[in-house]
Chain A
Amino acid sequence: MFRLGLAQMTPVLGDPEANLQIHLDWIKRARQEKVDLLLFAELSLTGYHLRDLVPDVAMRSDAEPLRRLAEAAGEMSLVVGFVEESSSFQFHISAAYLEAGQARHIHRKVYLPTYGMFDEERYLDPGDKVRAFDTRFGRCAILICEDLWHPSTAYLAAMDGALYLLGVGNSPGRGVHGETLATAEIYRLVCRVYAQFFQVWCVFLNRVGFEEGVNFWGGSIVANPMGEICAQAPLLEEALLTAQLDDSEVRRARIFAPLLGSERLELTLRELDRIARERAE
């Protein structure tokens, strides 16, 4: 069992130094709450609407700010969002899993929304991997915002053995004629469905604050492997949401209905291969 913390915070747009300090403050706060794994949102070190600032705020995955955060975290593990510059000078929206003083895993956002209000692929390059990875809490996978709108990413993570889907985002609030924001409703649905059908813990951490008139609505949630929302942060306000997570809940769900064990990977592969071939014809 471990204590998860979700830092529902507001970064400064385009100022990694100021944001590093903000992260250090949240780490202190999380330590007081006895958090074992603290998540920061997508692009937590830079803010979202970067546009031409992308190369100016980008860093390598072993850059000083990430090292400093890993050190400051001490016993705590972290997920931190940043713009990653690759050795071939490509720029990615990345999230680093930092543990025991080093980056154990980097996830590069695979789906970069470039429609409607989004412009990501104009400035950034997509990642090409979805991988689960081992941590001291058990096997995890990180998915970033739009990745979660593609069930294939959660499916891959679950098939790769993840017990914990760590979703981090910068989700803008839209749609105000329902009980809550339409986007909040969608993420609630996404987390419940993935948690229930992939029988994992599914978490979504969203930032707060405003950029360019866009509200990031917060409302971070934790869904347990039975598909129930068991923790929820307030809308629009900074908050440190904490929850106790335990792989025994995954075990219980998988005994109740062994969906993962009966999943037919070979069939899925065969049919996907056929579909891809037929589409190419």
Chain B
Amino acid sequence: MSLREHADECLRINCELVRSILTAFIRNEVTKFGLERVVVGLSGGVDSSLSTFLAREALGPDGVIAVVMPYKISSPESAAHAREVTELLGISLVEVDITPQVDAYFERFPDADRVRRGNKMARERMTILYDQSAAKGAFVLGTSNKTEFLLGYTTLWGDMACAVNPIGDLYKTQVRQLAARMGVPDHIIKKAPSADLWAAQTDEGELGFTYEEVDRLLYLMVDERRPAGELAEEFDPQFVEKVRRRMRDTQFKRRMPTIAKVSPRSIDRDFRYSRDWGR
């Protein structure tokens, strides 16, 4: 068996097992903090649809509030798919057009490039989700997957921000497997993944490789810690180097901010308590 075939084999998940772990996880995390529901930013893509399906199964129809937050140039298909998911699951939907708040800001900074604008949109959505979570007495449910996290293909304090994330340890191709098993509509699973921050943006176009190929590489690099020499036999060395560099350069996004140490016990350095302390 080639290394590539081995990776494909290992990336195949037992969907029913993962489904039972992730729904139990959501139920446990929400109820142990004395809450009953989550809010989830639903884009109409496969990741947020899967998170929403899992939460609906874990908490019932009253336990999930989907928030759809289009911008004026967002693909109308995205919001349509989000609405379709809420109708399928019988959950409530809050729609907030973020155009006024984003445009009001960039009126002052008209030269901002599309990356700044895209990040701003992601962070505006985050503020809305957190406000809705306070209004509804709910947790913000995360929708980022392991591939995005490892590549740093996320907006810091934007789409990454959440209280709990059920799918953050699943690679994109595994998200697709579980989404199919849980009944996420096929056209949502099959469409080209996009952050939808500008017209015709696609993840794979921007990253320069496919999720299928990078998931194989990430699995071998991260989960199995295969040395570069072994990877070079199966993958283009430039591709391997590009991914390795992306991981290293975006490490800051996967950590809390650095605190300068001066006291005997500094938070998270030598003041070490679990988040679930007392839960």
Contacts and interface: CB of A to CB of B under 8 A. Distances in A.
Interface of A: 12-15, 47, 49-53, 173, 176-181, 209-213, 215, 235-236
Contacts of A211: 274, 276
B3 interface: no
Nearest to B28: A210
A177 B9 contact: yes
19 contacts: A13-B277, A49-B276, A50-B274, A51-B272, A51-B273, A52-B271, A173-B21, A176-B14, A176-B17, A176-B21, A177-B10, A210-B276, A212-B276, A213-B169, A215-B21, A215-B24, A215-B25, A235-B20, A236-B21
Residue in B29, B164, B274 with the greatest tally of chain A CB atoms within 10 Å: B274
Interface residues of B, number: 25
Contact of B279 (A13, A178, A180, A235): A13
B163 to A, nearest CB: 12
A235 B46 CA distance: 28
B261 to A, nearest CB: 16
Interface string B239-279: 00000000000000000000000000000000111111111
A236 B14 contact: no
Residue in B9, B14, B18 with the greatest tally of chain A CB atoms within 10 Å: B14
B28 A209 contact: yes
Contact of A12 (B9, B11, B25, B278): B278
B277 A14 contact: yes
A120 to B, nearest CB: 13
Contacts of B278: 12-15
B11 A53 contact: no
Contacts of A210: 24-25, 28-29, 276
Interface string B1-28: 0000000011111100110110011001
Contacts of A53: 273-274, 277
In the A-B complex, the 8 residue pairs with the closest CB atoms? A49-B274, A51-B272, A210-B28, A52-B272, A13-B276, A211-B276, A176-B13, A176-B18
A212 B13 contact: no
B232 to A, nearest CB: 25
Contacts of A49: 274, 276
Given A210-B24, A213-B25, A215-B21, A179 B276 contact: no
B45 to A, nearest CB: 23
Interface of B: 9-14, 17-18, 20-21, 24-25, 28-29, 164, 169, 271-279
A251 to B, nearest CB: 39
Residue in A47, A176, A212, A215 with the greatest tally of chain B CB atoms within 10 Å: A176
A47 B276 CA distance: 10
A54 to B, nearest CB: 10
Nearest to B12: A177
Nearest to B274: A49
A37 B28 CA distance: 29
Contacts of A177: 9-14
Nearest to B277: A14
Contacts of B14: 176-180
A179 B169 CA distance: 19
B117 to A, nearest CB: 33
Contacts of B28: 209-210
Residue in B14, B25, B276, B278 with the greatest tally of chain A CB atoms within 10 Å: B276
A173 B29 CA distance: 16
A184 to B, nearest CB: 10
Nearest to B271: A52
A181 B18 CA distance: 9
A209 B164 CA distance: 15
Contacts of A52: 271-273
A236 B273 contact: no
B91 to A, nearest CB: 23
B248 to A, nearest CB: 21
Contact of B274 (A13, A173, A178, A180): A13
A47 B274 CA distance: 11
Contacts of A179: 14
B20 A236 contact: yes
Contact of B17 (A50, A181, A213): A181
